[in-house]
């Protein structure tokens, strides 16, 4: 149940005409009263002798009874209460009770508190009602509406439980503003998948990802095709900005501009500036290594991203709140940059993950910026590395980065849940689901190659690696050996040994750094951890066969490749943590 207080108005009759009318798109059906301050109030929807003017005059009577100088400038209060599409349809009696509870909670009319305001609840659809009230009480005083929005939200949570409706999570005031119904209808008329506000929010987020200065930020906005207006003080200092889509016009044919703060609380210019404050660059990131990959191609950027994300998981799990909040916010930048630069077969799910996680990137715990610079650098490298191919090293390192991001986003969900941030925790969990789907698409080919390489290992080498696995990870060995991904891990162990690493020590090290007990496919997770840590190519399709064939010298020159196994390929698996 979503109650939403609309802007206050001056004309009661105007709002009544809308509520009892056909709607802007003929969407209103059977408008009628379900409740009001007076059981005998006229209902122009069901009573042929009643008129809208009569109802308006009765509603406005307390306002007209006081001195004009004492009347509120905007005396019309308007609340809409809407249920979700999956909720059952409430009866008129139930909606009437909802209306009475809402006006009491808001402070409009509480019978237990004495004189109240006049109000009427109109239903013109199955899933919602509108409540119109005039803001002068019967005794001539004005109602106390401080925190009315918070109070009606709290009452909605109680009503959801009582009426058996979907339970929504309590907000904390840090969510981005939802598109209005007018914006949604406009997008439908224009054939847009999303509203202008939503498109602008995503574009601005992507422009922020990894940016280091105002100049770079505004250059990215311009390159994305947005119209930009800057607010400049008389001193010449930049105070703010507004953006618009070139083809989103108002009735006068002018572009519709949105200030950054109206897109999301953290997209105002002051909040964006916090990300690149000069002093923050000197703060060492917790657990950060001194080196970084630097700008390079898409594969290099993704490998660097996997490393930065891997370190960030520990910070979110064990760091101070402000530092953890900064890493969670920066994770949103990484998601935006990855979605912007990834191949088509993963782009949609990554974009949906970034959009979902946007809600999880903010809370009342203020991010301590600067500690997150490794993640922000990773986002920058992704953008500068350019678009990635969906195959080869680009595709394989994309799977590696998504795998690491899944665990970071899951850690963020757990962190928010511990802090009581219900909406953020749910948003992070939804983002993780999109990452899971993107991982399946990205990992299928590279893990399939590793699977085939593992299947071609000689029996003595597989037996030796089985012994090695049992010695290095005795508690997980049997689970790993039963997974389809074991052959991909066996190939990775062979590649690491060929590259000069001690495979048992490496395997034990990567397994010990983070828990694995709740992962669906432990072998998949260990493959990417080992290949990242040992700096092995993520794409094994071009590695020499000698690195995996062991002592199968008699078959090394054969041109006949074994047929694909009948069992499920490990690329169809995905790492997942159970919450």
pLDDT tens digits, 228-276: 999 999 998 999 999 999 999 988 899 999 999 999 999 999 999 988 8
Q: What is the pLDDT of residue 171?
A: 66
- In the listed set 418, 443, 468, which residue is the last one of a domain according to the structure? 443
Q: Is 175 inside any structural domain?
A: no
Our count of domains for the chain comes to 4
32 token code pair: 């009628």
- Environment class of residue 193 by beta-carbon count within 10 Å: exposed (0-12), middle (13-18) or buried (19+)? exposed
C-alpha radius of gyration, the chain, whole number: 30
Q: What is the pLDDT of residue 466?
A: 94
pLDDT tens digits, 301-317: 999 999 999 999 999 99
119-123 and 227-232: which strand pairing?
A: unpaired
End-to-end Cα separation, the chain, in angstroms: 26
- In the listed set 210, 241, 276, which residue is the last one of a domain according to the structure? 276
Q: Is 178 inside any structural domain?
A: no
Biggest CA pair distance of the chain: 104
Residue 528 has pLDDT above 70, yes or no: yes
- In the listed set 443, 478, 497, which residue is the last one of a domain according to the structure? 443
Q: Are residues 303 and 360 in the same domain?
A: yes
Residue 75 confidence class, pLDDT cut points 50, 70, 90: very high
Q: Are residues 301 and 253 in the same domain?
A: no
Q: Are residues 13 and 34 in the same domain?
A: yes
Q: Is the pTM of this model over 0.95?
A: no
The residue segments making up the domain with residue 328 are: 281-443
Q: Are residues 288 and 395 in the same domain?
A: yes
Q: Is 36 inside any structural domain?
A: yes
Edge-to-edge strand ranges of the sheet holding 76-82: 2-5, 76-82, 128-134, 119-123, 32-36
Residue 115 confidence class, pLDDT cut points 50, 70, 90: confident
521 token code pair: 């496919």
Q: Is 170 inside any structural domain?
A: no
Q: Is 249 inside any structural domain?
A: yes
Residue 448's nearest CA partner among 484, 478, 415 is 484
Q: What is the pLDDT of residue 487?
A: 95
pLDDT tens digits, 160-205: 989 988 877 666 678 888 887 778 888 888 888 899 999 999 999 9
Residue 23 confidence class, pLDDT cut points 50, 70, 90: confident
Q: How far is it, in rounded angstroms, from Cα 322 to Cα 325?
A: 5
Q: Are residues 320 and 401 in the same domain?
A: yes
Q: What is the pLDDT of residue 549?
A: 43
Q: Are residues 481 and 381 in the same domain?
A: no
What mean pLDDT is predicted for residues 59-84?
Answer: 92
Buried b / exposed e over 504-516, threshold 16 CB at 10 Å, is bebbeebbeebeb
Q: Are residues 425 and 457 in the same domain?
A: no
Q: Is 266 inside any structural domain?
A: yes
Q: Are residues 434 and 286 in the same domain?
A: yes
Q: What is the pLDDT of residue 167?
A: 79
């Amino acid at each position: 149940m979503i109650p939403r207080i609309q802007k206050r108005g001056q004309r009661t009759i105007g709002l009544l005409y809308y509520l009892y009318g056909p709607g802007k798109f003929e969407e209103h059906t059977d408008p009628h009263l379900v409740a009001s301050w007076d059981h005998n109030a006229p209902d122009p929807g069901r009573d042929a002798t009643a008129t809208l003017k009569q109802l308006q005059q009765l509603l406005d009577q307390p306002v007209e009874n006081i001195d004009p100088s004492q009347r509120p400038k905007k005396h019309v209060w308007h609340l809409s209460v809407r249920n979700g599409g999956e909720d059952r349809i409430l009866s008129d009696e139930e909606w009437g009770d909802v209306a009475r509870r809402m006006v009491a909670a808001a402070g409009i009319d509480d019978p237990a508190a004495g004189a109240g305001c006049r109000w009427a609840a109109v239903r013109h659809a199955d899933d919602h009602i509108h409540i119109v009230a005039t803001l002068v009480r019967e005794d001539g005083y004005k109602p106390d509406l401080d925190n009315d929005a918070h109070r009606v939200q709290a009452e909605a949570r109680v009503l959801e439980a009582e009426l058996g409706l979907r339970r929504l999570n309590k907000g904390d005031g840090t969510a981005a503003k939802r598109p209005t119904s007018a914006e949604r209808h406009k997008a439908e008329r224009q054939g847009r998948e999303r509203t202008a506000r939503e498109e602008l929010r995503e574009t601005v987020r992507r422009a922020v990802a990894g940016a280091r200065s105002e100049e770079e930020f505004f250059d990215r906005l311009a390159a994305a095709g947005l119209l930009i207006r800057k607010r400049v003080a008389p001193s010449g200092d930049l105070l703010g900005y507004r953006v618009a889509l070139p083809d989103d016009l108002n009735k006068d044919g002018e572009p519709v501009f949105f200030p950054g703060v109206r897109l999301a609380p953290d997209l105002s210019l002051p909040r964006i500036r916090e990300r690149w404050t000069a002093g923050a660059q000197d703060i060492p990131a917790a657990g950060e290594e001194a080196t970084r990959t630097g700008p390079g191609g898409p594969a290099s950027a993704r490998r660097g991203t996997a490393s930065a994300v891997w370190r960030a998981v520990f910070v979110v799990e064990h760091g101070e709140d402000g530092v953890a909040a900064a890493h969670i916010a920066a994770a949103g930048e990484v998601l935006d940059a990855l979605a912007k630069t990834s191949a088509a077969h993963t782009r949609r799910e990554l974009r949906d993950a970034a959009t979902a996680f946007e809600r999880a990137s903010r809370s009342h715990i203020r991010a301590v910026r600067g500690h997150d610079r490794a993640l922000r650098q990773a986002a920058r490298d992704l953008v500068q590395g350019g678009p990635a191919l969906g195959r080869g090293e680009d595709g394989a390192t994309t799977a590696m980065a998504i795998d690491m991001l899944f665990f970071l986003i899951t850690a963020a969900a757990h962190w928010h849940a511990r802090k009581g941030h219900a909406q953020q925790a749910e948003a992070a969990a939804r983002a993780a689901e999109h990452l899971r789907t993107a991982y399946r698409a990205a990992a299928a080919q590279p893990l399939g190659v590793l699977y085939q390489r593992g299947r071609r290992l000689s029996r003595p080498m597989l037996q030796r690696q089985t012994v090695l696995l049992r010695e290095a990870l005795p508690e997980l060995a049997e689970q790993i050996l039963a997974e389809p991904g074991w052959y991909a891990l066996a190939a990775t162990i062979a590649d690491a040994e060929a590259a000069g690493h001690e495979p048992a020590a490496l395997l034990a090290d990567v397994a010990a750094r983070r828990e694995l007990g709740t992962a669906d496919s432990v072998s998949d997770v260990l493959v990417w951890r080992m290949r990242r840590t040992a700096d092995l190519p993520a794409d094994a399709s071009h590695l020499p066969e000698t690195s995996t064939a062991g002592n199968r010298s008699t078959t090394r020159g054969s041109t006949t490749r074994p047929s694909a196994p009948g069992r499920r390929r490990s690329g169809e698996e995905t790492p997942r943590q159970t919450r």
